[in-house]
């Protein structure tokens, strides 16, 4: 399950943001995951609960935003939206696709909480 190692990297980012801003806890972590990123959101949520224990984000909410995949079809010369596992062009049915987006996972932003307020860290 590579989601565990992905979440360990997210924890490093979250912990550093909390340290940098002097936050005692994290309220929300928002991730943006491309449709072609080969990441299982359910496994990622499980990993989040395990990896964040003992740190400032242990009680944080995890929000996951999905972004579409995109590609260039060499058969119809168009940019097209691709779903996970899509191997055919949704416009012409061609097979000569080049993936151009939707393969990333990134920390979109983090809501840090101090004793008085919630701070947003994008």
pTM: 0.82
pLDDT tens per residue across span 2-22: 899 999 999 999 999 999 999
Strand arrangement, sheet containing 105-113? 61-67, 25-34, 105-113, 118-121
Whether residue 115 contacts residue 106, with contact meaning beta carbons closer than 8 Å, is answered with no
For 35-79, write each residue's pLDDT tens digit. Answer: 999 999 999 999 999 999 999 999 999 999 999 999 999 999 999
The Cα–Cα gap between 15 and 86 comes to 36
Average pLDDT over residues 96-107: 94
Give mean pLDDT, residues 78-89. Answer: 85
At the second CATH level, the architecture of 2-68+102-121 is 2-Layer Sandwich (3.30)
pLDDT band, residue 83 (cuts 50/70/90):
confident
Task: Output b/e per residue, 61-86; b: 16+ Cβ within 10 A.
Answer: ebebeebebbbbbeeeeeebebeeeb
As a whole number of angstroms, the distance between CA 90 and CA 28 comes to 36
pLDDT of residue 119: 53
């Amino acid at each position: 399950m590579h989601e565990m190692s992905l979440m360990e990297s997210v924890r490093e980012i979250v912990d550093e943001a909390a340290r940098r801003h002097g936050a005692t806890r994290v309220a929300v972590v928002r991730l943006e995951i491309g449709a072609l990123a080969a990441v299982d959101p359910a496994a990622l949520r499980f990993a989040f609960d395990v990896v964040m224990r003992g740190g400032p984000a242990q009680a944080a909410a995890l929000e996951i935003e999905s972004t579409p995949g995109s590609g260039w079809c060499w058969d119809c010369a168009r940019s097209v939206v691709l779903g996970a596992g899509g191997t055919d062009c949704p416009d012409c049915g061609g097979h000569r696709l080049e993936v151009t987006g939707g393969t990333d996972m990134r920390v979109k932003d983090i809501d840090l909480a101090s004793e008085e307020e919630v701070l947003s860290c994008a």
